Structure 1
Amino acid sequence: MNSVNASTGFSPFQLRMGRSPRIIPPLVPNSLTADISASSEGGAAKAIIDQIERDVAEAKDNLFMAKVSQASAANVHREKDDFFDIGDKVMLSTLHRRREYKNKGDKRVAK
Structure 2
Amino acid sequence: MNTVNASTGFSGFQLKMGRSPRLVPPLVQAEFADAPLDKKQAMLVLQQLELDLLRAKDSLLTAKTHQAFAANATRNDSPVFAVDDLVMLSTANRRREYKAKGQDRVAK
Task: Tell which has more relative contact order, 1 or 2 (C-alpha 8 A, sep 6+).
Answer: 1
Letter in 2 for 1:55: D
Structure 2 SS opposite 1:89: coil
- 1:71 to partner: Cα distance: 0.8
TM-score of the pair, normalised by structure 1: 0.60
Aligned CA-pair RMSD: 2.7
Q: Which residue of 1 aligns with 2:16?
A: 16
- Structure 2 CA distance for aligned equivalents of residues 90 and 60 of structure 1: 45
Structure of higher CA gyration radius: 1
What TM-score results when the alignment is normalised by the length of structure 2?
Answer: 0.62
Q: Where do 5+ consecutive residues of structure 2 fail to align?
A: 25-34, 92-108
* Cα 1:95–1:61 shift into 2, 3 Å: closer
Report the alpha carbon displacement of residue 23 of structure 1 after superposing the two structures with TM. 4.5
Distance 1:71 1:43 in 2: 42
Q: How big is each residue's C-alpha offset from its partner over 1:7-50, in whole Å with a ceiling of 9 and x where there is no partner?
A: 111011211122234558xxxxxxxxxxx97xx61111111110
Aligned residues: 82
1:60 aligned residue (57, 62, 73): 57
Structure 1 gaps, min length 5: 25-35, 97-111
1:95 and 1:8 mapped to 2: Cα distance?
40
| Distance across 1 between alignment mates of 2:84 and 2:7 | 45
Out of 58, 66, 86, the residue aligned to residue 69 of structure 1 is 66
Q: Give SS of 2:9's match.
A: coil
Identity, in percent, stands at 44
What secondary structure, in the 3-state scheme, does the structure 1 residue paired with 2:70 have? Answer: helix
- 1:79 matched to 2:76: yes
User: Higher helix share goes to which structure?
Assistant: 1
